[in-house]
Chains A and B, each alone.
Chain A
Amino acid sequence: MRNQLEFEVFGSYALFSDPVTKIGGEKFSYQVPTYQSIKGIVESIYWKPSLLWYIDEVRIMNPIQTESKGVRPIDYTKGGNTLAYYTYLRNPRYQVRCHFEFNPHRKDLIYDHNEHKHHNIAKRALQAGGRRDIFLGSRECQGYVEPCVFGEGKGFYDEVPEVDFGLMVHGISYPDETGKKERETRLWRAKMQYGVIRFIRPEECTLVRKTGEGFMKSFDSTNMESVDVLYEEWFPRGGGSE
């Protein structure tokens, strides 16, 4: 696929909080990552407001295991801390296939639409382990990314025809992705077939709720540097070394 990135992401723990338990403070992880959490990981590797990442599929490599930990979250009213159990996924490892498209709601950033350069920067960023910290669902779950060939290697669920995870959060739509002035939460029915979850695109989700308001931050050439300018700055005579 055009502008595609394939990588493996792993860590010791992951916590893709299920909103049902999150609101009470006793966080319990979903069994598999949400679309939004993977999108966050990809955006940590490389992102610019002019592009949107789309997650195509995720391959679950290791068995889904949970482990609970006693934690001491801060009590913001009384001070000090309270007690809770967080239940994490243990030893997660996923292969991800994703691609980027230019943000159609960012007409103001058309000057930055140099597909080939963005793609190459993204690949180099992945090679370096991402531009920002990678984390699996929650900030305390540090993760690592590595380029890989999607589908290579043996996964734990390769032989399992289907696992149904039921209704899950797909992600949150922000104003700059939809062009609307509101924030929406999307739900979908997640299914794993032979270890692979094929995500539907955000606009294909039929179960959508309005869950807040927001606005689109404006970008233009005064507060964002285009790739071409950056390239010129780094390689004044058109590169040559590449």
Chain B
Amino acid sequence: MSWLATLNQTYENHAHVIGQFEKKANDREYALIPVSHTTQSAHIEVILDGQGNFITAKVIDKSEASTIIPCTEASASRTSAPVPHPLFDKLIYVAGDYTRYCGEGKGTPHADYMEQLLSWCESPAAHPKVKSVYTYLSKGTLMADLIREKVLWVDEQEKLIEKWTPTLEEKYGERPEIFKVIASDQSAAFVRFAVQIPGEAESRLWRDPSVQQSFVQFYDRLLSERDLCYVTGEHLPYADKHASRIRNSADKSKLISANDTSGFTFRGRFRNSRDAVSISYEVSQKAHNALKWLIDRQGFIVDGKVFLVWGPDRLEVPDPFGDTFSLYQDEEEASGDLAHKEYANQIRRAIGGYRFDGDYKAKVIIMVLDAATPGRMSIVYYRDLNKELFLDRLQQWHETCLWLHRYRKDGENRTISFLGAPSSRDIAFAAYGPRASDKIVKVLIERMLPSIIDGAKIPLDIVRSAVNRASNPVGMEEWEWEKTLSITCALVNKTYEKEGFTVGLDTANKDRSYLFGRMLAIADVLERRALGRDEKRATNAIRYMNAFAQRPGRTWTIIQSNLQPYQARMGTDAGYYNRLLDEVGSQLKAEHFTDRPLSGLYLLGFYSQRHELYKSKKEKDSEAEQINENYEMGEDVQ
């Protein structure tokens, strides 16, 4: 299905949550807004009674300011020309006595507003509470009432105060609330209404579904021009303008717009944009509202690029950009360092949590949006995948692009180690460094998508760049290098997926790079042991790592000669390492001992050998037991 149809369907599937506010992690509210509505931050709340009499008014706290307001096509995309919203709006539209306090403005905003409100109140779809707002506003005393209630402030000339100055502070005391919530001056305040009727629970008009319904019905009658909708195939009222503010409230770019006057996008074949395509008002509203809601709810944005993954039926899907550890967040027994087999089971369980019986036809949509210019937004990636297939692919990704990582911290800020795939963002930092600009990061995240959801190879330049950075430990702090190293190992492991490398040391592997990597690790561990706990300086192996990756033959002789004093210092304690060095070295064929640069595999050899050497005796024993048990149960050992 097309992206518009899918978004439209998502809206229909979640009609039961329309108008319900949910809170984001940063305490900002968001909601799936009804058709013909939009959201706006309000500053002043006016409370009326059922007969249209003023009761009280107050300034709204910023955290509660988000308000669902009815809007028309014209008002939703108004710019400088005054076009009133139907119910809630700025003072200049709603207050009949605005000019008395603020002077004349352009056009006749209040008269336009009242006319529009009246036609709503006179229509069959009218709502009693809206009528009482009309009754009150026709008195034209809003500003006076607000000033009396000390919501708005005037100076001696009975004009609204533009700025709260220290001299005023001396005179009246503390800065009034209204100046705290509004950035510009008071006259720009946005007003919303509540109507209290005894016996009715919901007085807030912006939260009352019956008021929303009333407006939808009223507005529906106004839309008379029907046309064939390119999404539903039905003859429906036609949308002239489409929504902007998709990524955030300040975003002016639109997904659907017509640009023939400068872009010549359809000239010759069609006379106007409507000939080229027509979309119904309802579909446009629903699809855009659903998209905004989804982005608020579960999208993430890097440098303006929106990454969004959702299921049209069940919204929650595992995040393909996240690391394996984030998959476990809800799992109780999320332990890190696991045997390979247990790991596979854990992944299966974590992903299995998203599989539901009977929804084998369900889909997962991956959508990436970006804007090349401020005015227009573009869909730069769109995939419509079967959910089962998506989960299978994701599982495969986590099972093949894996390594042992130690850079994550748990809730109590303790470092934990986990086996698994790194997140796309971490891959970007591993490949391009921690100061990689968002522009680079967003492109990489998009480029990783085919590897994650199609099982494609990771682009070679990314792997190569990560290997180069991981080979240069002197250039960064230790924790950063360790993080880069384990992520690079995951990438290299994925690149050599067919050969099935694991974190566990593969002593049978005769690959030249792998063996060289192992030797480097032995040299590193030997020297570190000899240096003791207090000595923090980098070992020779680490210092020469970069050169070693480029010219292993020559560099190894340097490392080995530098190793001698430490071997001497350790005496017989070095015996084990020396034997190990000999053993690994003897597996290298003579013709392999050259200066040909090493492949990324040397990092795997390095990591696995080091991991093996740092394992405590206890761990090794328990592992041996595990293997024996598995043998007895007749299972194969990984």
Contact = CB atoms under 8 A, between A and B. Distances in A.
B261 to A, nearest CB: 7
Interface stretch (B104-112, B268-276, B291-299, B493-501): B268-276
Contacts of B273: 23
Contact of A18 (B2, B271, B376): B2
Given A24-B256, A75-B262, A87 B376 contact: no
Interface string A77-90: 11000111111000
Contact of A189 (B233, B270, B377, B454): B233
Contacts of B383: 65-66
Interface residues of A, number: 43
Given A23-B266, A78-B262, A212-B271, A84 B373 contact: yes
A70 B377 CA distance: 12
Among all A-B residue pairs, the 7 with the closest Cβ atoms: A68-B380, A26-B378, A85-B378, A19-B277, A166-B1, A83-B372, A25-B263
A146 to B, nearest CB: 26
Contacts of A167: 2, 5, 230-233
A31 B384 contact: yes
A165 B231 CA distance: 11
Contacts of B454: 63, 65
Contacts of A172: 269
A31 B269 CA distance: 23
Nearest to A207: B233
A12 interface: no
Contacts of A189: 233
A84 B374 CA distance: 10
Contact of B4 (A20, A73, A78, A187): A20
Contact of B258 (A24, A28, A78): A24
Interface in A2-40: 18-26, 28, 30-31
Interface string B113-151: 000000000000000000000000000000000000000
A165 B264 contact: no
Contacts of B472: none
B373 A83 contact: yes
Contacts of B265: 22-25
B487 interface: no
B2 to A, nearest CB: 5
Contact of A165 (B1, B258, B450): B1
29 contacts: A19-B230, A20-B256, A22-B265, A23-B256, A23-B257, A23-B260, A23-B266, A23-B277, A25-B259, A26-B372, A26-B377, A28-B379, A65-B383, A66-B383, A73-B263, A76-B262, A76-B264, A82-B262, A83-B372, A84-B373, A165-B1, A167-B5, A167-B233, A172-B269, A183-B269, A187-B228, A187-B230, A209-B228, A211-B276
Contacts of A242: none
A112 to B, nearest CB: 28
B363 to A, nearest CB: 10
B631 interface: no
Contacts of A207: 228, 233
A65 B275 contact: no
Nearest to B228: A209
B270 A211 contact: yes
A185 B231 CA distance: 14
Contacts of A166: 1-2, 5, 231
B60 interface: no
B593 interface: no
A20 B279 contact: yes
Interface in B1-23: 1-2, 4-5
A73 B232 CA distance: 31
B255 interface: yes
Contact of A20 (B227, B230, B368): B230
Nearest to A76: B264
B254 A24 contact: yes
Given A76-B263, A207-B233, A23 B376 contact: no
Given A19-B277, A68-B381, A168-B2, A26 B376 contact: yes
A24 B376 contact: yes
A77 B230 contact: no
B370 interface: yes
A164 interface: yes
Contact of A23 (B228, B259, B379): B259
Contacts of A31: 384
Interface string A140-156: 00000000000000000
B380 A87 contact: yes
A165 B275 CA distance: 22
Nearest to B380: A68
Contacts of A28: 378-379, 382
Interface in A165-210: 165-169, 172, 183, 185, 187, 189, 207, 209
Nearest to A77: B262
A24 B257 contact: yes
B206 to A, nearest CB: 31
A17 B213 CA distance: 37
A165 to B, nearest CB: 7
Q: Give the most central of B256, B276, B372: most A CB within 10 Å.
A: B372
A87 B382 contact: yes
Contacts of B380: 68, 85, 87
Interface in A76-111: 76-78, 82-87
B270 to A, nearest CB: 6
Contacts of A212: 269-271, 275
Nearest to A18: B2
Nearest to A86: B378
B263 A82 contact: yes
B276 A19 contact: yes
Given A22-B276, A24-B256, 8 more contacts: A26-B378, A68-B368, A68-B381, A76-B263, A85-B370, A85-B380, A86-B378, A166-B1
Contacts of B381: 66, 68, 87
Given A23-B260, A167-B5, A84 B378 contact: yes
A82 B230 CA distance: 28
Given A167-B233, A207-B233, A68 B378 contact: yes
Contacts of A21: 255-256, 378-379
B275 A211 contact: yes
Nearest to B264: A76
A87 B372 CA distance: 12
A85 B277 contact: no
B152 to A, nearest CB: 42
B264 to A, nearest CB: 5
A76 B5 CA distance: 32
Q: Give the most central of A30, A165, A211: most B CB within 10 Å.
A: A211
Interface in A41-80: 63, 65-66, 68, 70, 73, 75-78
A23 B258 contact: yes
B260 to A, nearest CB: 7
Interface in B210-237: 227-228, 230-233
A84 B276 contact: no
Interface in A107-152: none
B398 to A, nearest CB: 21
Interface string B366-402: 0010101100111111111000000000000000000
Contacts of B376: 24-26, 84
A28 B367 CA distance: 12
A23 B276 CA distance: 7
Contacts of B266: 19, 22-23
Nearest to A168: B2
